[in-house]
């Protein structure tokens, strides 16, 4: 497969230490550096920011997002267009 990704978690492994966009249920979005994840897709983000309508609304810092609230996680190549302040 492309970029050595054969399983879904391979993409997350390659994204550790990089910026990702996380879309949650309830139409919430967060951008941050993916620090860790587990088999339930619980994730730890550093330098996390809440994003509303493409703009950073709130700086949160180190945070944990529960896997059952996550709709998708997108690598930095997609999320880098969101303001990085």
- The pLDDT score that the predictor gives to residue 2 is 65
- The pLDDT score that the predictor gives to residue 59 is 97
Helices (H), 2-75: 8-15
- The pLDDT score that the predictor gives to residue 54 is 87
Per-residue model confidence as pLDDT tens digits over 29-78: 999 999 999 999 999 999 999 999 989 999 999 999 999 999 999 986 54
Task: Supply the pTM of this predicted model.
Answer: 0.84
Q: Of 6, 34, 2, 3, whose CA–CA distance to 19 is shortest?
A: 34
**Could you tell me the residue ranges of all domains in the chain?**
2-76
Pick the CATH number of 2-76 from 2.60.40.10, 2.30.30.100, 3.40.1280.10, 3.30.450.20: 2.30.30.100
């Amino acid at each position: 497969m492309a970029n050595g990704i054969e399983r879904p978690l391979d993409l997350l492994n390659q994204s550790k230490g990089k910026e990702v966009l996380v879309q949650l249920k309830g139409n919430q979005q967060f951008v941050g550096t993916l620090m860790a994840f587990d088999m339930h897709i619980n994730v730890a983000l550093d330098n996390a920011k809440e994003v509303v309508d493409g703009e950073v609304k709130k700086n949160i810092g180190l945070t944990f997002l529960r896997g059952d609230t996550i709709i998708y996680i997108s690598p930095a190549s997609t999320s880098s267009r969101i303001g990085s302040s």
